Structures are given as C-alpha cells and as structure tokens.
C-alpha cells in the first residue's frame, strides 16, 4: 500500500500538470529603453540574453511578444514584477 506522502505527491503532480497554461506577453511602449527592457527580462525570467534581445525587438516591431508560457499564478506574479519595473506585461490564457 502506498504511503500517504506518495499519494499526496502523486495528486499534487497531477494537479500541476492540469493547470491551464498562460502566456506572458510583453507590450511595446514609447517610454522604456531597449536596455531597460532587456535587463528586466533577464532579471525576471529564465530567458538568456539572445532571447531577451529577440523578444524586445519583436515587441518593438509588432507591438507585443510572448516571453514564455507558465501557469496562471506564476503569470500573475510576472505581471506584478514587470509592473514594478515600469513595463507592461499581461498574462493571457494560452488557448
């Protein structure tokens, strides 16, 4: 018979796998410099410098760029963290 800990761990893993994915979308603005945006992405996300530069240019040229996909709770945290650095990022369902 499985231990209570292993049952709890299995249930938790199943719940994590079923969390709906959310896109973290960076929006272009006319206020922040490329350097500030790139440094913020590097500070707050697991993206590396080439990816941060690419996403910054994409947002500048098209108006927005998907930085990464995560769960809703993490997306809300990213939105708050980027806002604290004066950047506009939204968390949107990844349908």
**Class in CATH terms, 20-93:** alpha beta
Q: Are 78 and 91 in contact (CB under 8 A)?
A: yes
pLDDT tens, position by position, 14-50: 555 567 899 999 999 999 999 999 999 999 999 999 9
pLDDT at residue 20, as a whole number: 86
pLDDT at residue 12, as a whole number: 56
80's CB contacts (< 8 A; 6+ apart) are: none
Tell me how far apart the alpha carbons of residues 51 and 16 are, in angstroms, rounded to a whole number: 26
pLDDT at residue 9, as a whole number: 62
Note if the pTM is more than 0.85: no
pLDDT tens, position by position, 54-80: 999 999 999 999 999 999 999 999 999
The ranges assigned to domains in the chain are: 20-93
């Amino acid at each position: 018979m499985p231990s209570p800990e292993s049952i709890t761990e299995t249930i938790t893993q199943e719940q994590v796998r079923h969390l709906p994915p959310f896109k973290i979308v960076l929006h272009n603005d006319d206020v922040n410099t490329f350097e500030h945006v790139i440094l913020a992405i590097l500070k707050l996300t697991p993206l590396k410098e080439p990816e941060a530069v690419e996403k910054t240019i994409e947002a500048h040229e098209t108006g927005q760029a998907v930085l990464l996909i995560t769960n809703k709770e993490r997306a809300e945290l990213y939105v708050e963290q980027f806002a604290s650095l004066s950047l506009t990022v939204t968390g949107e369902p990844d349908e």
